[in-house]
Chains A and B, each alone.
Chain A
Amino acid sequence: MRPKSWKPWALLAPSMSAVFLLLVIPLCFVVVYSFWLRAPSGADIPAFQFGNYAKFFEDFFYPKILIRTIRISFETVILCVFMGYIPAYFFYRSESRYKKAFLLLIMLPFWVSFIIRTMSWINIMGDSGLINHFLLKIGLIQSPISMLYNEFTVLMGLIMYLLPFMVLNIYVSLEGIDKSLLEAARCMGCTEWQAFREVTLPLSLPGVSAGCLLVFVLTAGTYLPPMILGGPGNEMIANLIFKRIVGTLDWPFGSAISVILLSLLFVIVWTYNRYLGINQIFKSLQGN
């Protein structure tokens, strides 16, 4: 008997409606706005022109911020991979009865507001913060070291925010690896390191690449760490969009920058899909 074709659509309808209402329609608005003009008072004037896009590329100022965003995103991804693989591997290999508690610790930061977590670095790394206070107390330094408001602190804020996403992706991927494969490799004469290099690492790559994509996209669109922990010259593209839309009421130009960022991310995701396959993400989520 032919199955009723409307059933899957009926089941999908709520989520598809949500995506359509909350993502597709606002995105269409953003695209339309990007062709509009802005009056000096802040009022928007409906139009169809490419002036906002031309403005973005007319000199190197805006592309430079975009390039900085991409560079910081790559740096964040690389650091997250190195810092995330080790704990994920530890959880995978751990036989401890506290393993679930460790995993819970990874989720713990999500229980605290992102802003609070970011702001807390000011109390740790500030001139009168914990580190300087300690170093002054033990006499190692005579005056506080200026540690905040630079690219390093921005990276630190981003890693703090995104590391759990990387750890969880890698862990889910590792958890899907059949441990008997490792035993087989060892039986066939592999050292522990060789077994890791030849078996575990290749099989965990879908999780790594899924984590990379997620971290990259989230970094490119975030604005809080640069705003709170960055200094002059550490602005990222999302800060520019925020400033244009919220700060100067220039919605058309802010929309044009958003569309440019979205297009760039689309190209990156497409390239990723072309060479690595977007299905790797689903594979990793399913534990291979």
Chain B
Amino acid sequence: MANVTKEKLDRLYEAYKNGTLSRRQFLKYLGLAGATIGLVGSPFGNAVKEAWAAESIRFDGWGGVVSEAFREHAFKPFTKATGIKVIDGEFGGMDSYLTRVKASFPPGGEFNIAHLSAVFDYARYAELGFASVLDESKIPNLKNVMASMIKPLRDITKGTLSAVPYDLGQTGIAYNTKEISKEKAEKLGASLLWDKGLKGKLGSWGGDHRTNMWYAALHTGQSPNNMTDLKAIWAALREQRSLMKKYWSSGAELMSLLANGEIYATVAWSGRVAALQQEGHPIGYLSPKGTYSWMEYLFVLKGTDLEIAQKLLNFMLEPAAAIAVAEGQNYPPSLDPTKVKLTEKIKKMPAFDPTGKLDGYLFANPAYWNANQVAWTEKWDRIKAGS
């Protein structure tokens, strides 16, 4: 198309130069051509084409191996089966994604479905008015999902659902097995992240105060959902900072630091550790008592075409698709193991619960963490920066 347009413009310019076309006409045609290119050519062309497309939906996820699993095992088969295109976006963190959602116009309008992490995030999105109300009768595969994962959502959105649970995972501790023995890691537990012998070889997730405070609570012998001695938490985090090499900011950076031996121990997302182990890296995974567990959801933002969204969610909850995605991203699915037969690979994943009840799993209490988010984030930022 570009060549044809260029040829036409060349002819137009030639006519103008030859005097067979008036300046007014030339400018009129030029303006029309510009408008046409603006609408159908790049860079806006794709957006316009997508808007013109019969049916499409935007999905934002965590990127890397996680998005790759969704793309391969859910979106491509869905598009093939229904003709509906899934526009696949990525984000690096929950807060940064929420910023983009807030900044869109109308707020949330550009976004449809997001792979959100943890119930506190579901609560935040609902509080900000981004929650939709799903018609559960259009998502029959929801019956296969663990009731223990659905209940916390219903409690927040007063009996309705704005999301479907999709997977669960843990933020445990990853360690280099060449440098740290399994015995030492298990003996120290959360305190491995405060081992002075690892000075300059420790890492942590810089973008999340919760994860860091959670492990500081375990290290200081407190309950992460009821920290009674915050001074001890801050002191522990300050002490840990002096041992740190790098506060990483994304899953890809976490994997790179561990794989290249830049750091020997760090808090880490269980699925990313599994991916490293599958690639043959000498990385062990430790989940001490009270390990930070989380559930992930496919959240449908207000204003989304619910017919399409529900169709996609139901497709993604089909056992075949959910199992394939789970194996791809290395996080157990939300499917109830007592109702759906899962694979051996899934049964070996960290955070997998064969009972489907999730008893004994420690999740962040949304009310507790959200109520203190502003103050604690700021405090964490200061400690991280050396204050």
Contacts and interface: CB of A to CB of B under 8 A. Distances in A.
29 contacts: A38-B374, A40-B370, A40-B374, A41-B124, A41-B370, A42-B98, A42-B124, A42-B128, A43-B127, A61-B385, A122-B256, A122-B262, A126-B260, A126-B262, A127-B262, A128-B260, A144-B261, A146-B200, A227-B249, A232-B241, A232-B246, A233-B386, A240-B381, A240-B385, A246-B95, A247-B96, A248-B378, A249-B99, A249-B102
A245 interface: yes
Complex A-B, nearest 9 residue pairs according to Cβ-Cβ distance, in ascending order: A233-B386, A41-B127, A246-B96, A128-B260, A248-B377, A61-B387, A246-B99, A149-B246, A232-B244
Given A148-B262, A247-B95, A248-B374, A61 B245 contact: no
User: For this complex, into which size category does the number of interface residues on chain B fall?
Assistant: 20 to 34
Interface of B: 93, 95-96, 98-99, 102, 124, 127-128, 200, 207, 241, 244-247, 249, 256, 260-262, 370-371, 373-374, 377-378, 381-382, 384-387
A65 interface: yes
A248 B375 CA distance: 11
A231 interface: yes
Contact of B385 (A144, A233, A247, A250): A233
Interface string A6-40: 00000000000000000000000000000000101
Nearest to B107: A43
A179 interface: no
B386 to A, nearest CB: 4
A243 B381 contact: yes
B260 A127 contact: yes
Contact of A231 (B96, B245, B378): B245
Nearest to B382: A61
Contacts of B249: 227
Interface string A46-69: 000000000000000100010000
User: Which of B93, B370, B387 has the most chain A CB atoms closer than 10 A to its own CB?
Assistant: B387
A41 to B, nearest CB: 4
A125 B169 CA distance: 33
Nearest to B206: A232
Nearest to B249: A227
User: For this complex, into which size category does the number of interface residues on chain A fall?
Assistant: 20 to 34
A146 B115 CA distance: 37
Interface string A214-233: 00000000000001000111
Contacts of B99: 245-246, 249, 251
B241 A40 contact: no
Interface in A234-264: 235, 240, 243, 245-251
Contacts of A43: 127-128
A232 B95 contact: no
A126 B378 CA distance: 31
A11 B128 CA distance: 45
B217 to A, nearest CB: 21
A82 B262 CA distance: 32
A235 B384 CA distance: 9
A61 B374 CA distance: 17
Contacts of A248: 95, 374, 377-378, 381
Contacts of B256: 122
A235 B385 contact: yes
User: Which of A128, A129, A144, A246 has the most chain B CB atoms closer than 10 A to its own CB?
Assistant: A246
A128 B264 CA distance: 13
Contacts of B386: 232-233
A41 B128 contact: yes
A146 B127 contact: no
A107 to B, nearest CB: 23
A235 B93 CA distance: 19
A273 B296 CA distance: 55
Nearest to B96: A246
Nearest to B127: A41
Contacts of B245: 146, 149, 231
A227 B207 CA distance: 11
Interface string A98-124: 000000000000000000000000100
Given A127-B260, A127-B261, A249-B102, 9 more contacts: A38-B374, A40-B373, A41-B127, A61-B382, A128-B260, A232-B247, A247-B95, A249-B98, A249-B99
